[in-house]
C-alpha cells in the first residue's frame, strides 16, 4: 500500500486555462497516508472522477505531480501503477464461478495456488460469499455480483491503493449499510489504502477516516467527519454535510453587535474582533442542531415566526422566519412547540463566521 501525494496538481481539459473556473480540478496540494481510508465527496461534476482518473493513470494532469511513496507517477501508465479499482457496476466474468472470479486478479499475477486459495477464502469470509464460491456468477443477484466486484478489488495484497467509484450504486438500500460496515471492517483488518468516491454524505462519513470535500473543481476541505460537521472550512461543506445543512445569514456589524436582517444576535468579543478584521462578504453559519429555544426577550435571542414543524421520531425540525431569513432548528422531540412566535438563540460557541465563503480564523 502507498502514501499518495499531490503536488500543485491541477487539471484543465481545455488548453491554456485563463482563470480558476477553467479547471476541472483546481491546483492543490494534499497527502493521503499509507493505509488510510479516504472519501472523495461532492456533487456531480465537481471533479471527483477527474482526480480519480489522475490517480489511476487514465488521465495525465495538465499540471503538477502525483507521487506514490515519494515516487513521481504522473506519467506512469495505468498498468504500472498497481491500483485496483471497483466501479459502479459489477465487472466480472459471468461464466466463471465466484471462486474463479475472486482468484482471477491473483492468478493473473502468477500468485501461488495455495496462496490464491487462502486469500480468496479470507475475502469471501469477510464478504459473506463463502457459500456461493462454487456457484456461477451469472446466476447471482446484482447485489451479490457487486460484492464479488468488491472482493476482486480487495483480493490482492500488493496494490498501492484500491479506488472505489460509487461502488454501492446498484446495491439494495438495506444492504448498503451492511456493505459499508464490511468495508470499514476490511480496512481495519487488512490495513489497505482505500479511496472511495461518492456524492452521498452518509456513505462518505460512515466509511472514511478522512473526507475530502470538493465543489466546482476545488478541494474545499479535507478532514475527519466530526471536523466537517463542527468546523466547516467553507460554506459549501456546511451546506452539503448535515441533514438539513447549516443555516447561513449575511450580516452587518453595528458597533458591538452582529445584525442579521433587523435583529441583533449575540457573539463573543473575540468573534466580533475577527469579523471586524475580515474583509469580503461576511456570513454567519449555524447548524440546526445548535439553534436553541430561548425565553422571550432573552439577550442575544431572536424572535422568529414558526413556518413548519416536522416530527422526525427522536427529534423535530422547526422551520421559522426572522428578519426575512429562514432558520431551521433541530430540537428534541419532547419539546412542546406552539405555532406562532418562538424565541431562538444561535449557540455562540457553535456559530461559525465566513468571509467570501471561507471560515474566518482557520
Ligand X SMILES: Nc1ncnc2c1ncn2[C@@H]1O[C@H](COP(=O)(O)OP(=O)(O)OP(=O)(O)O)[C@@H](O)[C@H]1O
Interacting residues toward ligand X by CB under 6 A: 13, 24, 42, 44-50, 199
Q: Which of 242, 217, 248 is nearest to 227 (CA)?
A: 242
CB closer to ligand X out of 36 and 42: 42
Query: How far apart are alpha carbons 54 and 58 in whole angstroms?
Result: 6
Q: Name the residue nearer to ligand X (CB basis): 140 or 219.
A: 219
CA-to-CA separations, 103 to 87, 116, 140, 257, in angstroms, rounded: 18, 6, 18, 66
Residue of minimal Cβ distance to ligand X? 49
Q: Which is nearer to ligand X, 54 or 154 (CB)?
A: 54
d(CA 143, CA 147): 6
DSSP state of 76: -
Closest separation in Å from C-beta 236 to ligand X? 13
In terms of CB distance, is 156 or 218 closer to ligand X? 218
Cis peptide before 244 (omega within 30 of 0): yes
Cβ nearer to ligand X, comparing 100 with 165: 165
Instruction: State in Å, rounded, how far the first CA of the chain is from the last one.
Output: 32
Shortest Å distance, C-beta 246 to ligand X: 22
What's the min distance (Å) between Cβ of 206 and ligand X?
19
Q: What is the DSSP string of 134-185?
A: TSBGGGS-HHHHHHHHHHHHHS-SS-SEEEEESTTTTS-HHHHHHHHHHHHH
Q: Report the half-sphere exposure of 156 (CA within 13 A, side-chain side).
A: 25
- Provide, rounded to whole angstroms, the least separation between the CB of residue 205 and ligand X: 18
Q: Cβ of residue 175: shortest distance to ligand X, in angstroms?
A: 22
Q: Which is nearer to ligand X, 5 or 165 (CB)?
A: 165
Q: Considering the complex, what minimum distance in angstroms separates the CB of residue 13 from ligand X? A: 3
Amino acid at each position: 500500500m502507498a502514501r499518495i501525494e499531490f503536488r500543485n496538481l491541477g487539471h484543465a481539459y481545455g488548453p491554456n486555462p485563463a482563470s480558476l473556473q477553467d479547471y476541472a480540478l483546481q491546483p492543490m496540494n494534499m497527502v493521503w497516508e499509507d493505509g488510510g481510508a479516504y472519501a472523495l465527496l461532492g456533487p456531480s461534476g465537481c471533479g471527483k472522477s477527474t482526480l480519480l482518473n489522475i490517480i489511476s493513470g487514465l488521465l495525465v494532469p495538465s499540471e503538477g505531480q502525483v507521487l506514490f511513496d515519494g515516487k513521481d507517477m504522473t506519467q506512469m501508465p495505468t498498468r504500472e501503477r498497481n491500483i485496483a479499482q471497483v466501479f459502479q457496476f459489477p465487472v466480472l466474468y459471468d461464466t466463471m464461478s465466484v471462486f474463479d472470479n475472486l482468484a482471477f486478479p491473483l492468478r493473473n499475477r502468477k500468485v501461488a495456488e495455495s496462496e490464491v486459495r487462502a486469500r480468496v477464502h479470507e475475502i469471501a469470509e469477510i464478504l459473506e460469499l463463502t457459500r456461493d464460491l462454487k456457484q456461477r456468477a451469472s446466476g447471482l443477484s446484482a447485489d451479490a455480483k457487486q460484492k464479488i466486484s468488491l472482493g476482486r478489488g480487495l483480493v490482492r495484497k500488493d496494490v498501492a491503493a484500491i479506488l472505489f467509484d460509487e461502488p454501492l450504486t446498484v446495491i439494495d438500500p438495506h444492504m448498503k449499510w451492511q456493505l459499508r460496515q464490511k468495508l470499514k471492517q476490511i480496512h481495519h483488518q487488512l490495513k489497505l489504502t482505500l479511496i472511495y468516491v461518492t456524492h452521498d454524505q452518509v456513505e462518505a462519513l460512515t466509511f472514511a477516516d478522512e473526507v475530502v470535500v470538493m465543489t466546482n473543481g476545488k478541494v474545499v476541505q479535507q478532514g475527519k467527519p466530526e471536523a466537517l460537521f463542527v468546523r466547516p472550512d467553507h460554506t459549501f461543506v456546511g451546506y452539503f454535510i448535515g441533514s438539513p445543512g447549516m443555516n447561513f445569514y449575511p450580516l452587518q456589524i453595528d458597533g458591538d453587535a452582529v445584525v442579521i436582517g433587523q435583529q441583533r444576535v449575540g457573539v463573543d468579543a473575540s468573534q466580533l474582533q475577527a469579523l471586524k478584521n475580515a474583509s469580503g462578504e461576511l456570513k454567519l453559519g449555524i447548524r440546526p442542531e445548535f439553534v436553541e429555544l430561548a425565553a422571550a426577550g432573552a439577550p442575544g435571542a431572536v424572535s422568529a415566526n414558526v413556518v413548519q414543524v416536522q416530527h422526525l421520531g427522536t427529534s423535530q425540525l422547526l422551520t421559522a422566519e426572522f428578519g426575512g431569513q429562514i432558520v431551521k432548528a433541530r430540537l428534541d422531540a419532547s419539546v412542546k412547540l406552539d405555532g406562532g412566535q418562538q424565541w431562538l438563540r444561535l449557540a455562540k460557541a457553535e456559530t461559525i463566521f465566513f468571509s467570501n465563503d471561507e471560515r474566518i480564523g482557520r
